[in-house]
Amino acid sequence: MNILITSGGGAKGAFSVGALRQLLASTGIKSFDLISGTSTGALIAAMVAAGKIPEVTDIYLSNSNADILNKQNVINNILNNRAYLYDTAPLENQIRQQMNDTTWQTIRQSPTLLCLNTVCLQTGRLSIFSSRALAPDPHYDNIVIDSTEILVRSLLGSSNQAVFMPPVTINDRQYADGGNREVIPTRAVISNLSHQEAHRIFILSNNPDTQLTTGNAYTALLDVLMRAITIFIQEVRENDLEVLRNFKHTTTTPVKIYYICPEAELDPDFPTGLRFDKLLMQSWMKQGQLRAKIVLQQFPDGNM
């Protein structure tokens, strides 16, 4: 089986798209048996499952902040009990343009199992929306996507960073960014792998393997918040990767894991990935392509 895991990271998803394009060119893979994505990685995952590689490339090269977010008046939102800093109507419009009824039928009929990670605010649990039913697992709840509307809303929920963006209501529950529980979404993968065949797992992460160390004094409110988010993301990522390492070391199934990530933080000032700068994203896409080429050439049997 060929498995693709795409991480969260907002605009830094451009790195994953570059890596993905190189991966497909280098391996000759036409489709994946299972794709698991969180946040911006969920958007990439759905586009890959639908066979929309040129379209997802264009999205990450052409969008600016105004194409994704509407900045809100923070004081007005607090006074009016709006639990977010940005309105995501532009993002929702883009998702609806790409994930129409025809696209959903393509995904539904595909042999690819698509998994989109969210977190339910009511239960606090990892909640995975999937194109088919997943194997039961105590670590997550599974909701099977049964319509275009649920596909759209699960993608929006997976992508909407709590506080920065509004939670998304689906069937009377609210969902937020899956990165609160899994930045690199591994649980769905290890619970749904066949034990009768060999596997190649390709991980596309938009964050470096090593925590950024700084000499800064953090005094401003926003600076402290951003630094805290960076540390939080690193901790979640390390836990996600440890889950996958433990699986590889304990299973009798042959597993090759290819872990592709940037060598340094792509955007230190915006660790949440909420800076959609066209020139930066073009650079990140090129970095992703180069990094994937190096990993696939130097480590034909995997690097993790």
User: Is 39 one of the catalytic residues?
Assistant: yes
Q: Which pLDDT value is given to residue 64?
A: 80
- Percent of the chain at pLDDT > 90 equals 63
Comparing 235 with 50, the larger pLDDT belongs to 50
Q: Which of 7, 130, 177, 267 is catalytic?
A: 177
Q: Which pLDDT value is given to residue 82?
A: 66
Q: Please give the average per-residue pLDDT across 1-5, as a whole number.
A: 96
Q: Report pTM.
A: 0.92
Comparing 198 with 272, the larger pLDDT belongs to 198
Q: Which pLDDT value is given to residue 57?
A: 93
Comparing 204 with 197, the larger pLDDT belongs to 204
Count of residues for the chain?
304
Q: Please give the average per-residue pLDDT across 57-86, as a whole number.
A: 72
Q: Which pLDDT value is given to residue 83?
A: 64
CA distances from 212 to 90, 122, 269, 274 (A): 32, 33, 11, 18
Q: Where are the beta strands (DSSP E) in 91-144?
A: 113-120, 126-130, 141-144
Pairing of strands 173-177, 168-170: antiparallel
Q: Please give the average per-residue pLDDT across 232-253, as a whole number.
A: 88
The answer to whether the beta carbons of residues 178 and 188 sit under 8 Å apart is: no
Q: Which pLDDT value is given to residue 228?
A: 82
Q: Which pLDDT value is given to residue 80?
A: 65
Reading the block at residue 205, the tokens are: 């992460």
Q: Please give the average per-residue pLDDT across 62-75, as a whole number.
A: 70
Comparing 7 with 83, the larger pLDDT belongs to 7
Strand partners, 6: 37, 204
Q: Which of 39, 127, 130, 159 is catalytic?
A: 39
Comparing 216 with 203, the larger pLDDT belongs to 203
The answer to whether the beta carbons of residues 182 and 38 sit under 8 Å apart is: yes
pLDDT in tens, 251-286: 888 999 999 999 999 998 787 788 889 999 999 999
**How far apart are the C-alpha atoms of 259 and 5, rounded to whole Å?**
10
pLDDT band at 67 (very low <50, low <70, confident <90, very high): confident
- Give the amino acid at 262: P
User: How many beta carbons lie within 10 A of that of residue 100, not counting itself?
Assistant: 15
Q: Which pLDDT value is given to residue 70?
A: 61
Q: Which pLDDT value is given to residue 272?
A: 77
In terms of CATH, what superfamily is 2-298?
Cytosolic phospholipase A2 catalytic domain (3.40.1090.10)
Q: Which pLDDT value is given to residue 79?
A: 59
pLDDT at 20 over 70: yes
Q: Which pLDDT value is given to residue 268?
A: 83
User: Is 283 one of the catalytic residues?
Assistant: no
Q: Which pLDDT value is given to residue 186?
A: 95
**Residue ranges per structural domain of the chain:** 2-298
Reading the block at residue 277, the tokens are: 């700068």
- Average pLDDT of the chain is 90
pLDDT at 183 over 70: yes
DSSP 192-210: S--SSS-EEEEEE-SS-SS
pLDDT in tens, 102-155: 999 999 999 999 999 999 999 999 999 999 999 999 999 999 999 999 999 999
pLDDT band at 81 (very low <50, low <70, confident <90, very high): low
Rounded to 5 degrees, φ, ψ at 209 are -75, -25
**How far apart are the C-alpha atoms of 57 and 44, rounded to whole Å?**
9
